[in-house]
Amino acid sequence: MRAVKTLGLLGTGVIGGGWAARALHFGIDVLAADLNPGMQAWIRGAVDNAEGALSRLTFAPLPPKGTLRFTTDLAAMARQVDFIQENIPEQLELKQRVLAEVSRCAPPDVLIASSTSGLLPSDLQRDMQAPERFLVGHPFNPVYLLPLVEVVGGSRTSGAALDAAGEFYRYIGMHALRVRREVPGHLTDRLQEALWREILHMINDGVATTGELDDSIVYGPGLRWAAMGTNLIYHLAGGESGMRHMLKQFGPCLKWPWTRLEAPELSKQLIDRMVEGTQAQANGRSIRELERLRDDYLVAIQQVLRQFNIGAGATLRALEERLYQDSGSAARAATAQPDAIEAGKPLRLIETCVRPEWVDYNGHMTDSRYLQVFGDATDALFRAVGVDDVYRRSGRALYTVETHVTHSGEARALEPLYVTTQILGLDDKRVHLLHSLFRRRDERLLATGEQLYLHVDSAAARAAPMDSAVHARLEQIRAAHASIDGPAMPARHLRLSRS
């Protein structure tokens, strides 16, 4: 299967817009195809609306954003992309027909996935050409923030296709949950459906309002479910004996007539109660307002879970580790070029732009973000010379002991920037760096960051000599940088001094 550089969307709508926003944010180009030309404006608006929350999800260095294109020619889209995600209405015959048509245009090594929430992949791939590359990739709304995607193969889907799809979904920050065998509704929707049926019964019987039932989840099990699913929570409920004791104690309750899985008839009265209840909960807020509220708390929850490396937070942490590794790999490849370390020229390892959330009330990049960008440049340099995750796990690291930032220009939202890095000084335990931040459109110097790093033995909690190979690589760069003209360089505020 081919590497995915361009994602094709077959149908747009809410789910298609979510896929577009996520893929674009993590550097994948998107070609969206929809027979309705009016959906071009819609999907661009959906991507713009998602950007605020996506931009706060992680501060790890991101690749350049992907570009979004739109077409009403489904066949043309299929010929130009590396992976196709189908998002058309949930109608079996319609999906079968469109998927079959598109499969005849897409090269056989292009994976085709359906976002279907309940249809079986074996049914969907029935008339397709090269059906072995088809699978279900069922996401959850909002796709750009919720990491879960259920990966389901049909009777003719190859294992290689499932593996490749999982790899792509993980690349864009998702948790690819491989479903063992196809069943209607997959996994999560079957669980949600059981809860939904019971909600309808209680509303129909006048037991509670929609708001009261939502409160019963929001203030209780919903908080637990964010990091531990029902099974692990019930395991805890059994005390030291775990699930075995829980089932022994509460198992008899399953015989009690608490729940009814058959849904009630959707009468006019029940529909009115559902509509009136949810309108009261919205309290005059528009759908867009509620979407932004939802997105804000989803970002906050995932960042909290990230600290504990659990649930969606573990997925976010894995994404960030991959982003930092990619940044370091790019820096390592750049410095490995024959002419990369050139006498009299600093390294250029970081290309970025001013993200909208980096801007303060004056419309300029806020102070703390300069440190973040300079920190990313330092991380890229250190990874390039071998101070990577493996090195740090060995108990050795370089820590900042002093920083001096000088500002000489303004950076506004979305301004393209780059950082050059110079090694000013080096000994067996310290590295003295100078970062310079430039505005790409006019090459103006906006700020400098001078930093002193100390190499430590983390286990001993004291300074220690760095690895000889790391030191040799840094010395090679320092020697090349020694010939950079002094007058052109901003004043140095830090020194390597033994005193």
Residue 296 lies in a domain: no
Q: Of 266, 284, 302, which residue is a domain's last?
A: 284
Q: Is pLDDT larger for residue 253 or for residue 420?
A: 420
Tally the domains of the chain.
3
Q: The CATH number of the domain where 448 resides is what?
A: 3.10.129.10
Same domain, yes or no: 341 and 452: yes
Residue 159 has pLDDT above 60, yes or no: yes
Domain that holds residue 169: 6-178
Tokens of 77: 């889209």
Kindly give, in sequence order, each residue whose CB lies less than 8 Å from that of residue 227, ignoring residues fewer than 6 positions away: 305, 308, 310, 311, 313
Same domain, yes or no: 167 and 26: yes
Residue 73 lies in a domain: yes
Q: What is the pLDDT of residues 172-197, one digit of tens each?
A: 999 999 999 999 999 999 999 999 99
Question: pLDDT value at position 492?
Answer: 66
Whose structure tokens read 């739109």? 70
As a dihedral over the C-alpha atoms of residue 293, residue 278, residue 186, residue 248, rounded to 10 degrees, the angle is: 100
Record the pTM. 0.82
Same domain, yes or no: 379 and 406: yes
Residue 315 lies in a domain: no
The Cα–Cα gap between 216 and 403 comes to 50
Tokens of 239: 């005390």
Q: What is the pLDDT of residues 428-473, one digit of tens each?
A: 999 999 999 999 999 999 999 999 999 999 888 899 999 999 999 9
Question: pLDDT value at position 499?
Answer: 41
Whose structure tokens read 């003295």? 432
The number of C-alpha atoms within 13 Å of 217 and in the hemisphere containing its C-beta is 12
Edge-to-edge strand ranges of the sheet holding 68-71:
68-71, 29-33, 6-10, 83-86, 111-114, 134-139, 148-153, 175-178
Residues linked to residue 399 through DSSP beta bridges, in sequence order: 454
Same domain, yes or no: 371 and 341: yes
Q: The CATH number of the domain where 29 resides is what?
A: 3.40.50.720
The Cα–Cα gap between 476 and 341 comes to 8
| Residue 389 binned pLDDT confidence (cut-offs 50, 70, 90) | confident
The average confidence (pLDDT) of the chain is 90
Q: DSSP readout, 414-469?
A: T-EEEEEEEEEEE-SSEEEEEEEEEETTTTEEEEEEEEEEEEEETTTTEE-PPPHH
Cβ atoms of 377 and 450 within 8 Å: the answer is no
The Cα–Cα gap between 383 and 470 comes to 10
Residue 356 has pLDDT above 80, yes or no: no
CB atoms within 10 A of CB 231: 9
Task: Please give the backbone phi and psi of residue 221, each rounded to the nearest 5 degrees, phi first.
Answer: -60, -30
Q: Encode 443-468: b = buried (16+ Cβ within 10 Å), e = exposed.
A: eeebbbbbbbbbbbeeeeeeeeebee
Closest CA to 466 of 394, 373, 406, 408: 394
Residue 324 has pLDDT above 60, yes or no: yes
Whose structure tokens read 């440190």? 371
How far, CA to CA in Å, does 92 sit from each of 96, 393, 459? Answer: 6, 51, 60
Residue 487 lies in a domain: no
Whose structure tokens read 């075995």? 244
Same domain, yes or no: 277 and 258: yes
Q: Of 178, 212, 229, which residue is a domain's last?
A: 178
Taking the CA atoms of 48, 52, 57 and 60 in sequence, report the sign of the dihedral they define.
positive
Question: pLDDT value at position 486?
Answer: 53
Same domain, yes or no: 163 and 258: no
Residue 21 lies in a domain: yes
Same domain, yes or no: 393 and 465: yes
Q: The CATH number of the domain where 250 resides is what?
A: 1.10.1040.10
Residue 329 lies in a domain: no
| Residue 488 binned pLDDT confidence (cut-offs 50, 70, 90) | very low
Residue 257 has pLDDT above 90, yes or no: no
Same domain, yes or no: 439 and 358: yes
| Stretch 60-87: mean pLDDT | 95
- DSSP alpha helix (H) spans, 112-158: 121-124
The Cα–Cα gap between 448 and 438 comes to 9
Residue 36 has pLDDT above 60, yes or no: yes
Residues linked to residue 114 through DSSP beta bridges, in sequence order: 86, 136
Question: pLDDT value at position 487?
Answer: 39
Question: pLDDT value at position 414?
Answer: 82
As a whole-number percent, the residues of the chain with pLDDT over 70 amount to: 97
Q: Of 158, 178, 198, which residue is a domain's last?
A: 178
Lowest mean pLDDT among 29-43, 327-341, 390-404: 327-341
Residue 319 has pLDDT above 50, yes or no: yes
Residue 450 lies in a domain: yes
The Cα–Cα gap between 481 and 388 comes to 23
Same domain, yes or no: 231 and 192: yes
Residue 304 lies in a domain: no
Q: Could you write out the three-class secondary structure of 94-113?
A: HHHHHHHHHHCCCCCCCEEE
Lowest mean pLDDT among 281-290, 345-354, 382-391, 485-494: 485-494
Same domain, yes or no: 192 and 154: no
Lowest mean pLDDT among 298-302, 344-348, 381-385: 344-348
Residue 490 has pLDDT above 60, yes or no: no
Question: pLDDT value at position 465?
Answer: 95
Closest CA to 6 of 70, 64, 83, 109: 83
Question: pLDDT value at position 440?
Answer: 92
Tokens of 437: 């931040």
Q: Encode 339-355: b = buried (16+ Cβ within 10 Å), e = exposed.
A: ebbeeeebbbbbebbbb
Same domain, yes or no: 19 and 138: yes
Residue 498 has pLDDT above 60, yes or no: no
Same domain, yes or no: 362 and 225: no
